[in-house]
Structure 1
Amino acid sequence: MKKQYDVLIIGAGVVGNAIARELSRYKINAAVVEKDLDVSTGTSSRNSGVIHSGIHYKPGTLRARLNVRGNALMTDLCRDLKVKIQYIGKLTVAQDDIDVETLHSLKQQGEANGVPGLEILDKDQMQKIQPGVGGIRALHSPTTGIICPYGLTIALAENAQANGVDFYLGNEVNNIVSNGQGFTVKTSAGESLSASVVVNAAGLYSDHIARMVGISDYSIYPCRGEYLILDKRLEGSLNVLVYPAPRKGGAGLGIHLTNTVDGNILIGPSNEYVNEADDYACTAQIIDTLKKEGHELLPGLSTSDFIRNFSGLRPKQTPPEIKGFKDFVIESRDDVPGFINLVGIESPGLTCSPAIGLMVRDMVAEKIPLEEKPSFISERPGIVGFFNELRPEEQADLVAKDPDYGEIVCRCEQVTKKEVLDAIQNPLGAKTIGAIKYRSRAMMGRCQGGFCLPRIVQILQKDFGYRPEDYLLSNAGSQLFTGRVR
């Protein structure tokens, strides 16, 4: 049976969920279709988690305008959704006179975009902000911040769902038919969904989705960035983000040090074009390079400080022989009425996401009348952060109400059984090990699940009836166990 919607959003990354949450304010039927078994499994969870100020993009471009507006919207959005955000600022560091010229250009560009508080610092001023930082000059951008990217994406999705948006996880779109009045979308899980408006927010696969409706104007070139995660022993080593001055022709902003809101430091990303949109490999050569860069930027690093590596993919519109950046594509197509196309939403897509939500809402309003609903729930229930970040008296109150708060499952991150249970019973119904990890931070500490994963497996078996074949790391085919042994 075909299910009817006013708006269907393809892709459950941060941009798709920001659009869904914005549309959930109105009296329409909306749904999100996602090929993976959870939201935020691709680009939206595999990045630096930086809220950019807006210095890097040409004035007048979509990237520039949406970046600055999205940055300004983040504080209130994160307050409502109970998502941690910290505006700690950034130093973009020059090592030579050519880099200094770049800093002046970035400052001029940022001011044209409306970025406040930009200042070029000398060596003494740099040291006051970040002792030990190298370089001869730095551009300070105080409105640069950090956020948990998958935390924001999950929060947007849960709030959208609480306001009536349906989610079809594990449903890869394999066919879209336009009849001039709307669309029929068919998925790998056998769903047949109809909608008056379809929004293509498929990220790395946005060109593929566009071609399904006859739009062949765009190609996506996946560009892989690898990262190293440092142990929390180094928490407090950085007061601000530290970036190198970008060099012309690069595919990214260079390898840098990035604080996270959870206390780790990231080194990366590299940039390397790859052939496949799911090639998340990590390579020995790049890891060695990142370690070398890390030692140069933080001389006190030891080998044991590197606890994990990962990679992410940028959906670039520029091929390897050109590199650089192209502006975002966000368009309402006249040749395919009702199809709203988003292509090449790479960095600063995370920062831009709330502003993109507003922009796409206005495009939808040109196709469908939007009437606000008084029942819209703007705030997400719960606390900001995790149990181990609460004051002792707050922790005691929660333990008194629910003893599962008093049982530690993950020693490294001090994650309680109650938090693990809440992650398993999440509103979106995602049931993978990755879903538990991203919602609770269990398995994210120094031992990377060596202690807590067996305990989580036991909880899933005893409390939820899991069989060996039910344990998936992230998606279909990622079984943790292949059978029983005596």
Structure 2
Amino acid sequence: MELFDVLIIGGGVVGSAIARQLSRYRLKIGVLEKNLDVCYETSGRNTGVCHGGFAYDPGSLKARLCVKGNQMMGDLAEELDFSFKRCGKVLVGFTDEERARLHEVMEQGEKNGVKHLSIIEKERLRELVPTVEGEFAMYSPDSGILDPFMMTIALAENAHQNGVSYFLDNEVVGIHREEDDTWTVSTKHGELNASGASTYHTRWVINAAGLGCGVISDMLGLTGNRIIGSKDDYIILDNRLSKLVPMPIYTVPSNTYMGIHVSVTTDGNVLLGPTAEDTEDLHWYGVAQKNLDYLYEEATKIWPHVNRGDYIRTYTGILPKWIDENGKIQDFKIEIVDDVAPHAVNLVGIESPGLTASVAIADYVIELMKEHMDLLENPGFVPVRTGIKKFAEMSEEEQAECIRRNPDYGELICRCQKVTKAEILEAVRNPLGVHTMVGVKYRTRSMMGRCQGGYCQMRIAELLEKEYGIRETELEYNRQGSQLFFGTVR
């Protein structure tokens, strides 16, 4: 019987950060992820902002871990080769009441240890963001933007590089504590036992299940955590507008909501959102027309350059919020409860700023584990991971040399994003074994341009079919059961 030292339930950005940080030690680690890739839920459906840490209550885990995560992001991005820009962020206001609120936010940020915050007037605001509307703003120069897909993938690939086993398409359906205080975890995938589930055995369990944290917490015996979703709708605009948004633009936040943002991705697309509606349905990703209209109306108040002709697509993210009996949103819960679930770390309500704080959260988890066990350092740990080199970002000389070495660099598959066959094949052959269309999309930005795959999608599908030796009817777009074809097409 194979026995893991640690099984992590959830392979999103937090689960993969924990896996990567734990691989610094001599441990046999496995990650159980219910989806076909590591960034199909909350980790890949957000604004991609590296938060400063001023929006959270002083003394909270959200504040402490966000500030730490922000401070380490530059070095992390360099080590793991994902896009990060410390471009700053402005929160713009118009009235005396909003000015007073921004002073409160700034004071809160300073208590949290956030550096370099300031209130700026209209002239300075226009110097930073010439296209913005507003009379004044709070400026956070240490905030930034990052690629949430590639950050999550990079953490997972580096963890895998350091010996962590990833088990995709493994939704946990049961957890049982054995008499020797080990755990048996059952999933819907793999070699099935008599009860119709596959099993994994481990000394430690870590609940990093994101939207599923409440369900997994219940399985561990840690009941009573009420989880609701915050459904966040967004609009993506054409990257021709990227020069008009040099940094994220926020409205003045309330006590519970940061308001509508006009942001920019590391690849230049402009984002409008989010809407932030409470929901009990943690699986519905549709976007209502009324929400698109609301985003348009609110965004144009601070950035009057929204044109519906620049819409590329919409998307939704859902954040897991842990609330009390009165519906008040709670802090992150990261706990070990020895008398109920020994050798288990339970993470509940890891919503925003979970992306920014992910590695800081991982380090905090390890601190808790060290109080219960000795961890020996792994002398072979490799902190560096190299991503897929983007042909579109190379100089002409570099492009020519790549084509000379590998002719596949000379064949463009995605015209909008200038992605070559060589890049697509490298993504198809990814270390985690992901073989969905969206898995290739997130790793290369193919199908993310103006035509949204109208030109390249069929060619990518053909490459996946050939590489994995699968029929067209077996090819999945992103999730289980998301087949693109029901037979041969021309």
- Under a length normalisation based on structure 2, what TM-score does the superposition of the two structures give? 0.95
Q: Name which of structure 1's ranges 212-221 and 338-347 shifts more when overlaid on structure 2.
A: 212-221
Letter in 1 for 2:153: I
Deviation of 1:340 (Å): 0.4
Distance 1:460 1:143 in 2: 40
User: Who is 1:11 aligned against?
Assistant: 10
User: Who is 1:206 aligned against?
Assistant: 213
Deviation of 1:320 (Å): 11
Conserved 8 A contact 2:133-2:303: no
User: Who is 1:337 aligned against?
Assistant: 342
Q: Counterparts of 1:250-261 in structure 2 under 5 Å?
A: 250=256, 252-261=257-266
Distance 2:122 2:330 in 1: 34
Letter in 2 for 1:144: S
User: Who is 2:243 aligned against?
Assistant: 236
Q: Name which of structure 1's ranges 269-278 and 75-84 shifts more when overlaid on structure 2.
A: 269-278
Q: Name which of structure 1's ranges 56-65 and 451-460 shifts more when overlaid on structure 2.
A: 451-460
Matched, 1:353 2:358: yes
Distance 2:104 2:280 in 1: 34
User: Who is 2:477 aligned against?
Assistant: 473
Q: Counterparts of 1:131-170 in structure 2 under 5 Å?
A: 131-170=130-169
Q: Name which of structure 1's ranges 358-367 and 275-284 shifts more when overlaid on structure 2.
A: 358-367
User: Who is 1:188 aligned against?
Assistant: 188
User: Who is 2:403 aligned against?
Assistant: 399
Deviation of 1:132 (Å): 3.2
Deviation of 1:471 (Å): 1.3
Q: Counterparts of 1:429-440 in structure 2 under 5 Å?
A: 429-440=433-444
Distance 1:185 1:337 in 2: 15
SS of structure 2 residue aligned to 1:317: strand
User: Who is 1:117 aligned against?
Assistant: 116
Q: Name which of structure 1's ranges 455-464 and 66-75 shifts more when overlaid on structure 2.
A: 455-464
Deviation of 1:485 (Å): 6.0
Q: Which runs of 4+ in 1 moved over 6 A?
A: none
- Report Cα offsets for 1:377-406 as digits up to 9, x if no partner: 1101246x6220122212222111111111
Q: Counterparts of 1:281-320 in structure 2 under 5 Å?
A: 281-318=286-323
Distance 1:338 1:359 in 2: 15
Matched, 1:219 2:220: no
Deviation of 1:10 (Å): 0.3
Distance 2:237 2:2 in 1: 46
SS of structure 1 residue aligned to 2:218: helix
The root-mean-square deviation of aligned C-alpha atoms, in Å, is 1.6
Conserved 8 A contact 1:3-1:192: no
Conserved 8 A contact 2:237-2:270: yes
Distance 1:212 1:463 in 2: 39
User: Who is 2:253 aligned against?
Assistant: 246
Return closer, same or farther for 1:204/1:382 CA change in 2, 3 Å cut-off.
closer
- Report Cα offsets for 1:416-437 as digits up to 9, x if no partner: 1011111111100011111111
Deviation of 1:463 (Å): 4.3
Return closer, same or farther for 1:462/1:334 CA change in 2, 3 Å cut-off.
closer
Instruction: Give unpaired runs (5+ residues) of structure 1.
Output: none
Distance 1:155 1:195 in 2: 25
- Report Cα offsets for 1:39-83 as digits up to 9, x if no partner: 111000000000000110111110110010111111111101011
Deviation of 1:319 (Å): 7.3
Distance 1:171 1:463 in 2: 23
Distance 1:264 1:115 in 2: 28
User: Who is 2:195 aligned against?
Assistant: none
SS of structure 2 residue aligned to 1:361: helix
Deviation of 1:179 (Å): 2.2
Return closer, same or farther for 1:320/1:452 CA change in 2, 3 Å cut-off.
farther
Deviation of 1:98 (Å): 1.5
- Report Cα offsets for 1:104-150 as digits up to 9, x if no partner: 01111111111110100111121111113222221000110100011
Matched, 1:61 2:60: yes
SS of structure 1 residue aligned to 2:244: coil
SS of structure 2 residue aligned to 1:186: strand
Deviation of 1:230 (Å): 0.6
Conserved 8 A contact 1:224-1:270: yes
User: Who is 2:425 aligned against?
Assistant: 421
Deviation of 1:95 (Å): 2.2
Deviation of 1:229 (Å): 0.5
Distance 2:325 2:427 in 1: 40
Conserved 8 A contact 1:44-1:153: yes
Aligned length: 481
Letter in 2 for 1:361: I
Identity of aligned residues (%): 44
- Report Cα offsets for 1:245-278 as digits up to 9, x if no partner: 1124x4x311111111011111001011222211
SS of structure 2 residue aligned to 1:110: helix
Letter in 2 for 1:48: T
Conserved 8 A contact 2:154-2:387: no
Conserved 8 A contact 1:23-1:361: yes
Instruction: Give unpaired runs (5+ residues) of structure 2.
Output: 193-197
- Report Cα offsets for 1:330-379 as digits up to 9, x if no partner: 01112211110000010000011110111111222233321112111110
Conserved 8 A contact 1:197-1:367: no
> Structure 2 residue aligned with 1:372, among 359, 374, 377?
377
